[in-house]
Amino acid sequence: MSFRLLGSLALAVVLLTAGCTSSVRGTADAGDVPALTAQAAFGDFATVDFCSLVNDHVLRDSPVTVRSSLSGLVRCYAEVEIAEAMVQVTVGDLYTTVPFGSTDENRTLARSVHRLHFDDDEGTCWRELVFADDVGLQIMALPVYGHDDMDDLCRAADSVTDAVAASAFAGSAESRTPAADSLAGDDACEVLDVAEVADVLGRDLLTTPGLGGHACYWGRPDDPAIRADVEFDVMDFGADLTGVYPDDVAGRPSRLWDYSDGCWIETPHMAVPAEATTEWEVVTIWAEGGDGDHCETAMELAEIAWPRLPEFEGDGG
pLDDT of residue 191: 96
Q: Are 161 and 126 spatial neighbours (Cβ–Cβ below 8 Å)?
A: no
CA distances from 154 to 106, 109, 123 (A): 16, 19, 10
Decide which of 175, 196, 219 is a domain's last residue: 175
Residue of 145 and 303 predicted with greater confidence: 303
Closest alpha carbon to 184 in 58, 310, 81: 310
Same structural domain, 211 and 103: no
**Residue 313 confidence (pLDDT) above 90:** no
Q: Using one digit for the tens of pLDDT, what is the confidence trace for 96-144?
A: 986 555 566 788 899 999 999 886 667 789 999 999 999 999 999 988 7
What secondary structure does DSSP assign to the chain, as a single string?
A: --THHHHHTTTS------------------TTSPPPPHHHHHS-TTTEEGGGGS-HHHHTTSS-EEEEEEE-SSEEEEEEEETTEEEEEEEEEEEE--S----SEEEE-GGG-EEEEEE-TTS-EEEEEE-TTSEEEEEEEE-TTS---HHHHHHHHHHHHHHHHHHHHHT--EE----TT-GGGS-GGGTS-HHHHHHHHTS--EEEEPTTSSEEEEE-TT-TTSEEEEEEEEEE--S--TTT--EEETTEEEEEEE-SSEEEEEEEEEEPP-TT--EEEEEEEEEESSSS-HHHHHHHHHHHHGGGSPPP-S---
**Residue 84 confidence (pLDDT) above 60:** yes
Same structural domain, 166 and 213: no
Q: What's the pLDDT band for 206 if we cut at 50, 70, 90?
A: very high
Q: What's the pLDDT band for 284 if we cut at 50, 70, 90?
A: very high
pLDDT of residue 28: 43
Same structural domain, 145 and 103: yes
pTM score: 0.84
Same structural domain, 55 and 170: yes
Lowest mean pLDDT among 96-100, 243-247, 263-267: 96-100
Does residue 24 lie within any of the structural domains? no
pLDDT of residue 25: 38
**Residue 184 confidence (pLDDT) above 50:** yes
Name residue 233's beta-bridge partners.
282
Domain count, the chain: 2
pLDDT of residue 99: 58
Does residue 25 lie within any of the structural domains? no
Does residue 113 lie within any of the structural domains? yes
Q: What's the pLDDT band for 60 if we cut at 50, 70, 90?
A: confident
pLDDT of residue 106: 83
Q: What's the pLDDT band for 55 if we cut at 50, 70, 90?
A: confident
Same structural domain, 48 and 161: yes
pLDDT of residue 120: 62
pLDDT of residue 114: 93
Does residue 27 lie within any of the structural domains? no
Does residue 84 lie within any of the structural domains? yes
Return d(Cα 284, Cα 2) in angstroms, integer: 13
Share of the chain above pLDDT 70, in %: 85
Return d(Cα 186, Cα 169) in angstroms, integer: 29
Return d(Cα 135, Cα 133) in angstroms, integer: 6
pLDDT of residue 100: 52
Q: Are 229 and 197 spatial neighbours (Cβ–Cβ below 8 Å)?
A: no
Same structural domain, 153 and 8: yes
pLDDT of residue 263: 96
Decide which of 111, 143, 175 is a domain's last residue: 175
Share of the chain above pLDDT 90, in %: 58
Residue of 63 and 8 predicted with greater confidence: 63
Average pLDDT over residues 297-317: 88
**Residue 267 confidence (pLDDT) above 90:** yes
pLDDT of residue 262: 93
Summary mean pLDDT of the chain: 85
* Residue 52 amino acid letter: S
